[in-house]
Amino acid sequence: MRACIITFSALFGIGVAFAAEQADVPAPDDEELKIAEVLLEFLSPAEASYGFTWDGVTVRTRSVNWHLADPGDDDRDPVYFRRVGWTEYEGGQSWVTACGTAETMMIATVTGSGSFSFGDEDRRVLDPRILAALEAKGATTEEISRGEESATHRISMEGRLTGVLDQVRVCGNPEAAAVLPCETRYILVLDATKLDEAEELRGRCDTPGIWW
């Protein structure tokens, strides 16, 4: 009987700790829910071999408003192509960038417009908001790595190919005369089995303006 009581107490303690941990996770806001929706739209249906063509992605990403120009290359590196758009949510919008070769898209980047300032600790937490938003949309997440300024997760959803999501926090210099706010970039590799092919683009497909 005593052993049962001890076991029950231990399980109860774990449950309380888990509930407390969950309670500390801030609820995703409209922006993060929209970003999660966009990221999951980029994950290709598992049975669709044509899923990463530019036309196929354009059809699937109903939450993204793409600029009318076709995907274009860059004079400095004509191997890679890029297309830019945006997604809207209540009170704002987020930039969306898609990168790949002429035949296939490999990377999607979404940059949140809800920038935050130094000292805004709630917004500086990398994971909880976007992961909660992804899970609210039906995805599962698995941590691969974590650092002070970045985190990487495997993103899975039934019927879709598994992707790899980098979360990167970018902040201006706090000692500069004009202090820029921080922002978080969400960089998604559309197919986790093609990480090597996409590696060169992971750090370059990050802005709606100049290439790099």
Percent over 70 (pLDDT), the chain:
67
The pLDDT assigned to 65 comes to: 93
Give the model confidence (pLDDT) of 80-138 as tens digits. 888 889 999 888 888 899 999 888 899 999 987 645 444 455 455 566 788 999 999 99
Structure tokens at 117: 């300032």
How many alpha carbons fall within 13 Å on the CB side of residue 23?
Answer: 6
pLDDT of residue 75: 57
pLDDT band at 207 (very low <50, low <70, confident <90, very high): low
The overall average pLDDT reported for the chain is 77
Give the range with max mean pLDDT: 71-80, 128-137, 180-189. 128-137
According to DSSP, the residues that pair with 72 across neighbouring strands are 82
Mean pLDDT, residues 180-195 taken together: 85
